[in-house]
Chain A
Amino acid sequence: MQSKVHVRTAINGEPAEFLCEPRQSLLECLRDLCNLTGTKEGCNDGNCGACTVEMDGRIVTSCLVLGVEAEGAQIGTVEGLARGTELHPLQKAFLENAALQCGICTPGFLVAAKALLEQEPEPSEARIRLWLANNLCRCTGYDKIIRAVQQAAREMKEARP
């Protein structure tokens, strides 16, 4: 076995460190070493988007990133969306629109949709669908997810000063 590597990173704004094998994906490191199990594993090869996290301000599929690559990076996971017990507008909108059933895809959709709304506060429906093309859901049929993102976009707009 190869020796383990000490990785220093920041997760959801807090300094974090873990000891991992080079072959462990960032997804595995988050779930198994940092106990942040919000990020989900679906396909483990880049196709489903369930493992989407933010890395230095850009969304990535964490199953295709090595844990060692997180050295010095800023990682954002679904656990960082809520402020204490106050849910993020996207999380509220997902609940209100019943935009999830089994919930495996949800953290990936939330993290991906948040990145979209931060760079484009008023995306069209087509734009939302295209942006979320790498996020698969086997339960909802997508319409409710799209509606939830649209609702969150409206609410976030109204909340801005």
Chain B
Amino acid sequence: MQAFEYANPMTVKDAVALLGASWTDANVLAGGTDQLSLMKDYIHTPKRLVNIKNIKELAGIRKAGGNLRIGATVTLDELIDNREVRMAFPSLVSAARGVGSPQIKNMGTVGGDLCQRPRCWYFRNGFGLLAQKNGRSLVDDGQNEFHAIFSQGPAKFVSASSLAPALAALGATVTIAGPNGTRSVDVASFFVAPSSDQQREVDLKPNEIVTQVLVPMSGAKNASYEVRLKDGLDWPYAAAAVALRMKGSTVESARVVLGHVGPTPVVAEGAASALAGKSITEEVAAQAGESAVQGAHPLSGNAYKVQLAKTAVKRALMEAVKRA
């Protein structure tokens, strides 16, 4: 790992001031479960590392207006254990539980989960976010079984965050602090497909910090379903999160978001409109799954993910309406 200066600020203001104009000036350190691996592999080489875990304003979960406010440094374990989260957002609890390791759940934070870098093995081996060599995509002709079935332009990696699909379906927003104050972005638009290696996959500047996530307590029925190879350690192959606003047993409006199939969480508008006005039966849920994968373009080695995504949608829907 390249040597760096370690900073341990106590306020968001100080932390922002310690960050810099470029990603090599400084990086944020939260749980470190991804950041330290990236530094060991020289993918991130910051001159300064700014630990944000001792900033009190970033901690804790509480009700704020009609939202549940989840601080950026809340760990996955704290999230799973929180009473309010359990009652209102089962989709979030099951997404966090999917991270199979107690060690990672104890260390990893909500902010870090959203900002973690893609696991694309070309990116992790130094070929850049778009995994190109001499202008050609290494992914297209290479090992792409875990890559996107919804590529966006040259971006063929998949967003790694397990929490993002659930948060996007719930209509959550992230609050971001920078040198000019704070701004707020929908989780769904926080993720962006980069068109060059210089861009990031999230709407975040090098001198900005995610401070919190606000999840509306709208009473929507919600669930998520992840397809994993095993009950244990690894990222899901495909996932779906749903949030349903119901009138009796009829869906008034729905949000369906796919995870691990594209460079951003994929908001499945088609599936949402297929659900409006219907009661959820196996058949309706399966149709929504079909609609959700319209427009998928698998790569040479990952057509299997289309079926997984369909199934994830169906199972998430059935799970959401199973709950009273």
Q: Are A and B associated in one complex?
A: yes
Given A58-B77, A59-B103, A60-B103: A133 in contact with B3 (beta carbons within 8 A): no
Q: Are A112 and B103 in contact (CB under 8 A)?
A: yes
Identify which of B5, B53, B102, B233 contacts A2 (C-beta below 8 A).
B5
The smallest C-beta distance from A21 to any residue of chain B, in angstroms, reads 7
Q: Are B103 and A52 in contact (CB under 8 A)?
A: yes
B107 close to chain A: CB less than 8 A: yes
Given A130-B232, A133-B231, A134-B233: A61 in contact with B103 (beta carbons within 8 A): yes
The smallest C-beta distance from A1 to any residue of chain B, in angstroms, reads 6
List 7 contacting pairs A-B, 8 Å CB cutoff, sorted by A.
Answer: A1-B3, A23-B39, A60-B107, A61-B103, A69-B53, A130-B231, A134-B232
Q: Are B36 and A64 in contact (CB under 8 A)?
A: yes
Q: Are A134 and B37 in contact (CB under 8 A)?
A: no
B16-45 contacts to A, CB under 8 A, are 29, 31-33, 36-37, 39-40
Identify which of B3, B40, B77 contacts A45 (C-beta below 8 A).
B40
The count of chain A contact residues (Cβ–Cβ below 8 Å) is 30
Q: Are A133 and B6 in contact (CB under 8 A)?
A: no
Q: What chain A residues lie within 8 Å of B5 (beta carbons)? A: 2, 22
Given A2-B4, A22-B5, A46-B37: A133 in contact with B106 (beta carbons within 8 A): no
7 extra interface residue pairs, beta carbon distance < 8 Å, beyond A2-B4, A58-B106, A65-B36: A22-B6, A23-B2, A64-B32, A64-B37, A66-B36, A112-B103, A133-B233
The smallest C-beta distance from B101 to any residue of chain A, in angstroms, reads 3
Identify which of A21, A60, A66 contacts B3 (C-beta below 8 A).
A21
With most chain A CB atoms within 10 A of its CB, the pick from B2, B36, B53 is B36
B59 close to chain A: CB less than 8 A: no
Q: Which residue of B lies closest to A57 (CB)?
A: B106
A12-68 contacts to B, CB under 8 A, are 21-23, 25, 44-47, 49, 52, 58-61, 63-66, 68
Q: What chain B residues lie within 8 Å of A44 (beta carbons)? A: 40
Interface of A, secondary structure class, is mixed
Q: What chain A residues lie within 8 Å of B64 (beta carbons)? A: none
Q: Once bound together, how far apart are the Cα atoms of A69 and B104, in whole Å? A: 16
Q: What chain B residues lie within 8 Å of A63 (beta carbons)? A: 36
Q: What chain A residues lie within 8 Å of B231 (beta carbons)? A: 130, 133
Q: Are A133 and B1 in contact (CB under 8 A)?
A: no
Q: Are A133 and B100 in contact (CB under 8 A)?
A: yes
A5 close to chain B: CB less than 8 A: yes
Q: Once bound together, how far apart are the Cα atoms of A22 and B31, in whole Å? A: 15
Q: Once bound together, how far apart are the Cα atoms of A116 and B32, in whole Å? A: 23
Q: What chain A residues lie within 8 Å of B286 (beta carbons)? A: none
A115 close to chain B: CB less than 8 A: yes
Q: What chain B residues lie within 8 Å of A69 (beta carbons)? A: 32, 51, 53
Q: What chain A residues lie within 8 Å of B100 (beta carbons)? A: 130, 133-134
Q: Once bound together, how far apart are the Cα atoms of A61 and B101, in whole Å? A: 10
